[in-house]
Structure 1
């Protein structure tokens, strides 16, 4: 299980998500996403490895990732004038994307490994 590939996929998905919602603020959005990923990288790596080896369930992984909500600051988007309500919804979308991407990749990898 290559956690770095999972983190790259998460990053790509988050850039696509935020870029799609805030096309005119892509620079601010990318910086905010990168700041979140930098702040969460060690924990995301560890938790994803635990998920992959079955040490934690998908529900536990979800709970752990959602505990990082305060690290999704989105300061650049807030400064650019995006409302707090939209930022709250975006934070939830970001965490959901992280969770779905990691669980999807781990599940597919484990299914493929079990079939081999």
Structure 2
């Protein structure tokens, strides 16, 4: 079954907005901006890894490791500029990475 990555990507963007509302309520706009920037920067890698996962050429463990290795790309510039504490920014960043992994697993496996 071919992977509809655009559908997966749209799901990620919409779930990102929900995650931002739930985790950093007063900074939702900045969190969504930062999250979308991260997804944009990692889109091609995510697409390649998602296809490899769906084809059985990547294990779930490998996929998760690859996504989590992108943590440094999630700069969260808007949240930093807005003055959100670094601990909360890091929690949001980790939640975003987990969202990517969980969403792809849920839609592909």
TM range (shorter): over 0.9
**Pairwise CA RMSD:** 1.0
Aligned to 1:84: 86
Unaligned stretches of 5+ residues in structure 1: 108-116
Counting only pairs closer than 5 Å after superposition, residues 45-56 of structure 1 correspond to structure 2 as: 45-56=47-58
- What are the Cα deviations for residues 15-68 of structure 1, in whole angstroms up to 9, with x where unaligned? 210122223222211110111011101000000000111110111000000010
Aligned to 1:61: 63
Matched, 1:105 2:107: yes
Shift of 1:104: 1.0
Shift of 1:69: 0.1
Task: Could you list the structure 1 runs, at least 4 aligned residues long, displaced by more than 4 angstroms after superposition.
Answer: none
Alignment partners' CA distance in 2, 1:41 and 1:75: 19
Aligned to 1:43: 45
Aligned to 1:16: 18
**Aligned pair count?**
107
Name the TM-score, length of structure 1 as normaliser.
Answer: 0.87
Unaligned stretches of 5+ residues in structure 2: none
